[in-house]
Structures are given as C-alpha cells and as structure tokens.
Amino acid sequence: MPSTTETFGLSSAAIFIARLIFAAVFAMAATFKFLNISGTADYIAAAGFPFASGFAWIAAVFEVILVLCLLTGAYFSEAAIAAAIYVVFLGFAFHGPSHWAASQAEFGFFIDHFTFLAGLMFAACHGPGNLLTLNRQLWRP
C-alpha cells in the first residue's frame, strides 16, 4: 500500500522541485560562464590550472548537460553522481584549505559544497521520480 505522502503525490512533487532546484543552480553557473568565459578562465588560471580557457568551456558545456539530464530525468542518477564529483572537486579546487587563511567566508563556501553533495547523492540513489521524466539510465540505483 502506498504511503500517505505518495497517495497525495507529495513525494513526486518534492522530487520534481528538487530536480528544478538542482537544474537552476547549474543553469545559473553555466549562464555566468557563457556570459564571461574569459573571466571564468581567469578564475580557473588563478587557481593554478593550465589550459584555463579550455577548462572554462568544458565546465560550461558540462553544466548544460547536467541541466538537461536533471530537468528531463534522462540518465538522472548518472548525472547526479557526475555532478556530485564535480561539486566536490570545485569545493577543494576553489574554496579548499589553502583559501581559508585569507577569508573565513571561504570555509563556508567549502562546506556548502558538501551540503549540495549530500543532496546529489540522495538524488542519485532515489532517481528522478515520476513527474515529467524520460527515465533513461545506464544502471539502476
């Protein structure tokens, strides 16, 4: 027998809203990158990465792909895992321990990446839900 929350569709609605939030975050990040790709490349170079311009473009395109997967539900779990890895990388690369001495806010930015990671891991395990989902996947969580 379905739970009370599923009977009223609350679980499906909550999962769909979470998908929209995840997609919005990555859509904003991609938009900011595309609007100032050279600034993004400068930021990447300042963190010490070579080929900063190429990485800026790769990051922007990757984020667009994540948005498409998160919105449609296609390859959702795989996209959530890829996004989780990406988010942890970004946390360490741009807000990690070497940045904390210069600004306490950097520690907060670093920690925020792990709350996002937790949501992405939960999403990867539970899938895209039933609302407006293509539900294509490479493996079943």
pLDDT in tens, the chain (141 residues): 455 445 457 788 888 899 999 999 999 999 999 999 999 999 999 999 999 999 999 999 999 999 999 999 999 999 999 999 999 999 999 999 988 988 889 999 999 999 999 999 999 998 888 877 776 656 555
Provide the residue ranges of all domains of the chain, joining segments of one domain with +. 8-126
**Computed over its alpha carbons, how large is the radius of gyration of the chain?**
17
- The per-residue pLDDT for 13 is 86
Return the exposure string of 40-72: e unless at least 16 CB atoms fall within 10 Å of the residue's CB, then b.
Answer: bbeebeebeeeebeebbbebbebbbebbbbbbb
- The per-residue pLDDT for 102 is 87
